[in-house]
Structure 1
Amino acid sequence: MTPGPPPDGDPAPLDGTLPAAALTEVAGRPLSVYVHVPYCRTRCGYCDFNTYTAAELGTGPGASRDTWATAAVTELDLARRVLPEVAGVSTVFFGGGTPTLLPPADLAAVLAAIDDRFGLSPDVEVTTESNPDSVTAADLAQLREAGFNRISFGMQSAVPQVLRVLDREHTPGRAVEVVAEARAAGFDSVSLDLIYGTPGESAADWQTTLDSALAAEPDHVSAYALIVEEGTRLAGRIRRGELAMIDDDVQAERYLQAEETLVGKGFRAYEVSNWATDERHRCRHNIAYWRSDPWWGVGPGAHSHAGGVRWWNLRHPAAWAARVMVGESPAQARELLDAGTRRVELIMLGLRLADGLELSLLTESERARVPAIVAAGHGVVHGDVGDGDGDVGEGDVGDGRGRLSLTLSGRLLADGIVVDLLD
Structure 2
Amino acid sequence: KLFDVASTQSPKPLRFHYELYEKFLECKVKEIFQNGYSIPGPLLGTYLAGLKKILSEYDLKDTRKFVWDGSEVPPDYEVIQLNSEKRDDFLIDGMCFYEAETKPLIVNFSPDYFGMTVTLTTSNENKEWNKQLLDKVHGWVYENNFLRGEKFSLSGEFLHEPDDDWDNLILDERYKDSIRKSANFLEKKGKQFTARGLLFIGPPGTGKTKTGRVLMNELDATFIWVSSKDFRHIGPLRALVLGFSLARNLAPSVLFLEDIDTWLRGEMEYVTDLIKTEMDGIKQNRGIITILTSNYPEKLPDALLDRPGRFHHIVKFELPKEEQREEMLKLWAGDIGEDLLKEITEKTEGFSGAHIKELVEFARMIAEEDEIEIGEALLKSLEKLMEQRELIEEIRGNKTDVKAVWDRVKYEKGEVKVVEEKEIEIEANEKKEKFNCECIKCKHKMESD
**TM-score for the superposition, normalised by structure 1:** 0.29
For the pair shown, the structure with the greater C-alpha radius of gyration is 2
**TM-score for the superposition, normalised by structure 2:** 0.27
- Decide which structure has greater helix share: 2
Q: Which has the higher contact order (CA 8 A, sep 6+)?
A: 1
